[in-house]
Amino acid sequence: MSYENNARIINDDIFDLINELFDEERSGRNNESRLDFFDTYKDYFVLTDDGSYSINSREINHKVETLHTSTGAISESFEKFIKPMKFDYTKDISILDICAGLGYNSSAAIADFMKNSNANLTIDMVEISAPTLACGLLVPSPIPEHDITKKAIEEELIGADYATLSLETTEIPENITLNVFIEDARKTVQKLKDDTYDAIFLDPFSQNMAPELFSVEFFKEFRRIIKDDGIIATYTSSAPVRAGFIDADFYIGLGPIFGRMQGGTLASPNPLMLDYSLPKNDEIRIALSDVGIPFRDYDLNNSSEEILNRRSEERHTARHTTKISSAVKTPIFLGQEMDDEKLKRRVERNLAKMNIPSTTSKEAHYIVEVENKYSKKQDIENNTRNRILEMKKRLKKIKMGN
Ligand SMILES: C[S@@+](CC[C@H](N)C(=O)[O-])C[C@H]1O[C@@H](n2cnc3c(N)ncnc32)[C@H](O)[C@@H]1O
């Protein structure tokens, strides 16, 4: 089956209902039935804590994810994607919204922009699934600016012969341009121009559902198309995702915490755009352990399974050769006294395979002493990226015996 047919998108039942609705619209029967779709099928939608609606994903490997956090779908857009940005609203702004879904992140960006700027805003929205975008037309708008996004989505769906009726009455303001791409984001990014975006919103399903949207190769395209002061925001705190940004030549920092235990991730070519370091143990794990092996998608066209399997094999090969085993969280004990004798034996067995005699040996201290300079606030010299790269270098040196 092709990637497009297999992609991780919305729940099959609502997907079929939306396709049927728009089949009817195209056939000219049942005009305007879009208007009562939500009331009829409300039970398929997920009400989140701030009153905005979300929707469930297709079931993959017995798992279902919701498109947004239950803490609040539209609040999540403002907290995770808009707040960490440092837009200079005296200038024109360009945003790439990857995995546009119901269009909430773009709508939040429009609302923030309209409050603060008279310049021009361009948003390129990318979403693989036409029915998911169409679903964005059917939900009640959580903020008035969502009507602007709806208008752009409707125009694109009409252009793509998915919809026929122009029912959205809100006009797109003259200083706002919204382009909608209905395709695999991996294809879209390869067509985009260098040095274009002030912000990239990266909002796929989780890394196990959609590793293809978290690969080093995908991030290298971001590195090409983002401006020098641009910022990428994503909700995940995953080690391979963060490692992927570093391999693609980004600085990384801690993103806002909202609806989760841990903060998300921000990335930028410029360390000064990122205020906060990752937590120390996250840096150590990314640098030294096999969890810090990123996702690889060399030609930007592999399936999720191929990418997950490739990473599993790479982790297996790296363990005890170039990386410390992630078992029992071994690397975070470097430089630490340990009371639990049983755990200590396991940790030190893993360390011995990397030529590190004990958690308190001079080798152990040497590798993590980089972290003595750790501060929450990042600067041009002292930041998460530089510390991770230095720890990696030191581990290699110890393993090679020099
Ligand atoms: C977590 S949801 C995004 C929610 C969205 N940002 C919003 O504001 O409603 C993830 C979305 O990624 C889309 N998607 C999955 N694979 C994709 C791909 N390869 N390229 C573009 N979009 C994709 C899904 O259809 C789904 O709508």
The pTM for the full model equals 0.96
Look at phi and psi of residue 30 and say left if phi exceeds 0, alpha if psi is from -120 to 50, else beta.
left
pLDDT for residue 1: 60
CA–CA dist 376, 365 (Å, integer):
21
Ligand 1 atom 6, closest CA: 100
Tokens of 92: 């024109």
CA–CA dist 103, 258 (Å, integer):
19
* Domains defined along the chain, listed by start: 3-8+73-213 (3.40.50.150), 304-400 (no CATH)
Tokens of 164: 């026929």
pLDDT for residue 103: 98
pLDDT for residue 61: 76
For residue 354, give the DSSP letter.
T
Ligand 1 atom 2, closest CA: 67
CA–CA dist 299, 58 (Å, integer):
26
CA–CA dist 343, 327 (Å, integer):
11
pLDDT in tens, 200-228: 999 999 999 999 999 999 999 999 999 99
Q: Are 163 and 122 in contact (CB under 8 A)?
A: no
CB atoms within 10 A of CB 132: 25
User: What is the position in ligand 1's atom list of the atom closest to the CA of 185?
Assistant: 20
User: Is 181 near ligand 1, meaning CB less than 6 Å away?
Assistant: no
Can you spell out the DSSP letters for 275-293? -BPPPHHHHHHHHHBGGG-
User: What is the position in ligand 1's atom list of the atom closest to the CA of 68?
Assistant: 1
pLDDT in tens, 334-378: 999 999 999 999 999 999 999 999 999 999 999 999 999 999 999
User: Is 205 near ligand 1, meaning CB less than 6 Å away?
Assistant: yes
Pocket probe mutation, ligand 1, options 76, 95, 127, max atoms within 8 Å of Cβ: 127
CA–CA dist 388, 288 (Å, integer):
8
User: Is 132 near ligand 1, meaning CB less than 6 Å away?
Assistant: yes
Please state the rounded mean pLDDT for residues 291-310.
Answer: 97
User: What is the position in ligand 1's atom list of the atom closest to the CA of 136?
Assistant: 9
User: What is the position in ligand 1's atom list of the atom closest to the CA of 3?
Assistant: 19
CA–CA dist 224, 196 (Å, integer):
9
Report the separation in Å between the CA atom of 100 and the middle of ligand 1, taken as the mean of its atom positions.
6
Asked if residue 261 has pLDDT above 90, the reply is no
